[in-house]
């Protein structure tokens, strides 16, 4: 058989395996149907995803306030007209909406938003959740769960019948990044804390972390960090990390997930769409990984320019696991660049992608688009191996892809 034919056969095999290997989506903003209105889905949610709002405002000349005063349907109409009808929907977020509609069997050629809306009105949350997960090839969804979310907290306090497809992560940004406003809330919830970080306060923050990790069954503890985050440094954030979060994670075996590089509200008038990106000095991560070898750190980073150094750090510290092409990295160009770099520097000890989906139906496009890119990279990597005479077997490729699609992450959680 010629090498060209062999390559074609191998490529087809890799493509098939990637297509059918189910995915653990390790970071999303989705909710199980039991969370009611917190679970977002349907065309108006897809069109008013904050990525599209940011892109829409590049054309809108209406004042921000006027846009926010519109109903969600009116906002969606505006975005549809501007980003799909007046301009071809070539951006990743626009194309994603069409990928999803097409996968659901809707004919986007008609450009019939009214008809699409009518179809979505017939979808029921539970059955539709199953349908979206099947079309996306996703077998489990990790939520972002926050005791500080006034809509979410009551659901946990009341209790609900769990859905094994949805797992949890304890998100603690307000605790670490906004202590002055968070301390009074903890006190109100019965934690004996004060604004100054005394030994008692640290002990009570640990109790808060312990109780909420247990209540939620959290698989990791997560925080996003500004680009100028430093460790060590004499800050409240670092006192809470050192005194409460890291000991809690060691005691429970939970990884601490860090997402550095986000500058919140660079344009506050865009609300959720107003956050930006900044270059992070990763010295902090070297210090944390070196100083706390018994803690596990999950990291995804926002600046493209930080990605290579993060990979090199992961080569130095086995308690560091790199995951995802986060937010502004979640475009084919950077998914390809990141995945190639990671496989070439870290082999299979990495989790190339998470969806970060906020709207259930996004799972379909986020994973179809990512699978396409990851397939292309893997085809190249296995072809490189084949050229050395090392012919990867079907079982080996299936094992490898399962690792990349959540298996390595699971091993890291249990490690």
Token match 């990763």: residue? Answer: 282
Between residues 205 and 301, which has the closer beta carbon with respect to Zn ion? 301
Based on the shown chain and the rule CB under 6 A, indicate whether residue 356 belongs to the binding site for ligand HDL.
yes
Question: Nearest to residue 356, comparing CAs of 75, 42, 50?
Answer: 50
User: Restricting to residues 181-220, which ones interact with Zn ion according to CB under 5 A?
Assistant: none
Between residues 213 and 355, which has the closer beta carbon with respect to ligand HDL? 355
Between residues 33 and 324, which has the closer beta carbon with respect to ligand HDL? 324
Part of the chain binding Zn ion (CB under 5 A), chosen from 87-95, 175-183, 349-357, 394-402: 349-357
Out of ligand HDL, Zn ion, none, what residue 224 binds, judged by CB under 5 to 8 A for its kind, is ligand HDL
Each residue 102-121 as x (binds ligand HDL by CB under 6 A) or -, in order, gives --------------------
Give the side-chain half-sphere CA count within 13 A for 192: 4
Q: How far is the CB of 356 from Zn ion (least distance, A)?
A: 4
State residue 119 phi and psi, 5-degree precision: -60, -45
Question: What is d(CA 82, CA 329) in angstroms, rounded to the nearest whole number?
Answer: 24
Question: Nearest to residue 146, comparing CAs of 198, 206, 208, 228?
Answer: 208
Between residues 173 and 356, which has the closer beta carbon with respect to Zn ion? 356
User: Restricting to residues 39-98, which ones interact with ligand HDL according to CB under 6 A?
Assistant: none
Based on the shown chain and the rule CB under 6 A, indicate whether residue 327 belongs to the binding site for ligand HDL.
yes
Which residues, 6+ apart, have CB-to-CB distance to 22 below 8 Å? 137, 138, 139, 405
* Chosen residue from 55, 275, 356, 361 binding Zn ion by CB under 5 A: 356
Out of Zn ion, ligand HDL, none, what residue 328 binds, judged by CB under 5 to 8 A for its kind, is none
Part of the chain binding Zn ion (CB under 5 A), chosen from 278-286, 313-321, 348-356, 396-404: 348-356
β-partners of residue 276 are: 263
Based on the shown chain and the rule CB under 6 A, indicate whether residue 369 belongs to the binding site for ligand HDL.
no
Taking residue 52's Cβ as centre, other Cβ atoms within 10 Å add up to: 25
Each residue 249-278 as x (binds ligand HDL by CB under 6 A) or -, in order, gives ----------x------------x------
Q: How far is the CB of 364 from ligand HDL (least distance, A)?
A: 16
Number of residues counted as binding ligand HDL (CB under 6 A):
7
Q: Please, is 331 exposed, middle or buried when counting C-beta atoms within 10 Å of its C-beta (0-12, 13-18, 19+)?
A: middle
Q: How far is the CB of 376 from Zn ion (least distance, A)?
A: 25
**Would you say 386 and 57 are in contact if contact means Cβ atoms under 8 Å apart?**
no
55-59 long-range contacts (CB < 8 A, ≥24 apart) are 55/83, 55/91, 55/93, 55/94, 56/82, 56/83, 57/270, 57/273, 59/83, 59/86, 59/87
The tokens describing 353, both together, are 């992608």
Between residues 85 and 272, which has the closer beta carbon with respect to ligand HDL? 272
Q: How far is the CB of 272 from ligand HDL (least distance, A)?
A: 5
Between residues 30 and 320, which has the closer beta carbon with respect to ligand HDL? 30
Question: What is d(CA 340, CA 348) in angstroms, rounded to the nearest whole number?
Answer: 11
SS3 content of the chain, % helix, strand, coil (to 5): 60, 10, 30
Between residues 81 and 178, which has the closer beta carbon with respect to ligand HDL? 178
Q: How far is CA 284 from the centre of its chain?
A: 22
Based on the shown chain and the rule CB under 5 A, indicate whether residue 25 belongs to the binding site for Zn ion.
no
Q: How far is CA 53 from the centre of its chain?
A: 19
Q: How far is the CB of 133 from ligand HDL (least distance, A)?
A: 19
Q: How far is CA 382 from CA 137, 156, 338, in A?
A: 23, 46, 17
Out of ligand HDL, Zn ion, none, what residue 272 binds, judged by CB under 5 to 8 A for its kind, is ligand HDL
Out of ligand HDL, Zn ion, none, what residue 148 binds, judged by CB under 5 to 8 A for its kind, is none
Based on the shown chain and the rule CB under 6 A, indicate whether residue 304 belongs to the binding site for ligand HDL.
no
Q: Which residues bind Zn ion (CB under 5 A)?
A: 356
Q: Which residues bind ligand HDL (CB under 6 A)?
A: 29, 224, 259, 272, 327, 356, 358
């Amino acid at each position: 058989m010629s090498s060209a034919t062999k390559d074609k056969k191998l490529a087809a095999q890799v493509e098939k395996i990637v297509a059918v290997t189910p995915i653990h989506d390790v970071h999303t903003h989705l909710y199980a149907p039991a969370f009611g209105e917190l679970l977002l889905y349907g065309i108006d949610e897809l069109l008013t995803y904050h990525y599209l709002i940011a892109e829409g405002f590049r054309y809108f000349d209406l004042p921000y306030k006027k846009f926010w005063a519109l109903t969600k349907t009116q906002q969606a109409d505006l975005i549809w007209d501007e980003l799909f009808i007046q301009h071809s929907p070539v951006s990743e977020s626009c194309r994603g909406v069409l990928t999803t509609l097409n996968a659901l069997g809707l004919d986007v050629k008609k450009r019939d938003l009214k008809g699409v809306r009518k179809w979505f009105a017939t979808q029921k949350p539970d059955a539709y959740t199953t349908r979206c997960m099947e079309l996306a090839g996703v077998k489990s969804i990790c939520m972002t769960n926050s005791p500080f979310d006034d809509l979410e907290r009551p659901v946990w306090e009341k209790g609900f019948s769990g859905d094994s497809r949805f797992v949890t992560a304890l998100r603690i940004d307000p605790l670490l990044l906004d202590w002055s406003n968070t301390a009074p809330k903890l006190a109100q919830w019965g934690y004996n804390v004060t604004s100054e970080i005394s030994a008692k306060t640290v002990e009570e923050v640990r109790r808060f972390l312990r109780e909420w990790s247990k209540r939620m069954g959290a698989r990791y503890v997560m925080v996003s960090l500004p680009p100028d985050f430093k460790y060590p440094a004499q800050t409240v954030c670092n006192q809470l990390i050192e005194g409460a979060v890291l000991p809690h994670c060691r005691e429970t075996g939970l990884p601490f997930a860090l997402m550095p590089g986000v500058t919140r509200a660079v344009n506050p008038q865009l609300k959720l769409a107003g956050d930006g990106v900044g270059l992070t000095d990763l010295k902090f991560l070297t210090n944390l990984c070196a100083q706390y070898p018994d803690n596990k750190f999950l990291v995804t980073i926002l600046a493209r320019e930080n990605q290579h150094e993060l990979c090199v750090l992961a080569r130095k510290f086995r308690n560091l696991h790199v995951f995802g092409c986060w937010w502004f990295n979640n475009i084919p160009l950077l998914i390809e660049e990141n995945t190639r770099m990671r496989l070439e520097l870290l082999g299979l000890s990495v989790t190339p992608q998470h969806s970060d989906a906020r709207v259930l139906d996004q799972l379909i496009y986020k994973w179809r688009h990512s699978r396409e890119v990851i397939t292309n990279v893997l085809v190249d990597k296995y072809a490189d191996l084949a050229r050395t005479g090392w012919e990867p077997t079907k079982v080996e490729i299936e094992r490898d892809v399962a690792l990349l699609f959540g298996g390595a992450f699971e091993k890291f959680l249990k490690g």
